[in-house]
Chains A and B, each alone.
Chain A
């Protein structure tokens, strides 16, 4: 039943044997112990599990680990380079863009993908871009501010 996959996560290549039904998020959390990627729902709505798959923001709960074979994954743990926080991480910190922190990794990864495509967004565009990421703490206001700030410094 097991499939052997080779996945590069945050620059490190891992080989593992997984059941086909194992979701990518479970692989990251339970096999690689990268628990920064969270599971907030079971209907592919909340976006807490968002990671980059070959650079594209993806709900890792809606992809099987076997599908990640040969791909490059970036999780929240891989965003800071050499210990320097990514501008998005800094901006979320400075603008109080998080409270409980549970949705935060997914929101940051989604925003990363978004800013790559739209480096100079309006508030309205940011709000639309975050449609796939739920936050129950912040009312989104400071998240929007943080994304805007990050855009300016990226």
Chain B
């Protein structure tokens, strides 16, 4: 395989990782429809889901084009099995309650914004273009999550305890966000990808300040679950995927 071909498939896989993060979180947020605590939040959570779904569609399409095997966004979204999805474990965590949903959004949007900002300067014009559009959206997602983190953390005793619990439950999954591997390192050298290892400090500062203001304690954990980028997911993921893919897979070759 030539150096260029390797590089193209690397970019395809990288785009797939980013696209899967967005797609899977959009799917989780979509589960909130008609269940949110108030109408305004039903609309807001759907808006965030729609933004993420839009990002996912661009990224999966780009991945399909780069891999050159003719797979489009739907084949990638509905045709792959559990072990072929490369999203981080954080985004597949179940909604549980509004506090978990907000905590997940805070932790992820802060990471995604930190990642997309430098990605706007990627040597790959496709990725740079997608990041440039997404960065504006994600800034709003983070802002929304920050505001709700403050309300829940520093609201009532009940909301505080739920928010604290959510952060403790989700915190272990944040370590994976900053893991690097050979793929990312190769692409980062070429200026295509952003090495997430370098984002950890600024992410930690922002999250620490937000949670501090929300009177939520940042937990210390030794458990560092990982594997999403290699296609090793949590048990809940398969159920989510089964629901998402069932109809599409029931009608092979059909158009919708």
Q: Are A and B physically bound partners?
A: no
Which residues in A have some Cβ–Cβ distance to B below 8 Å? none
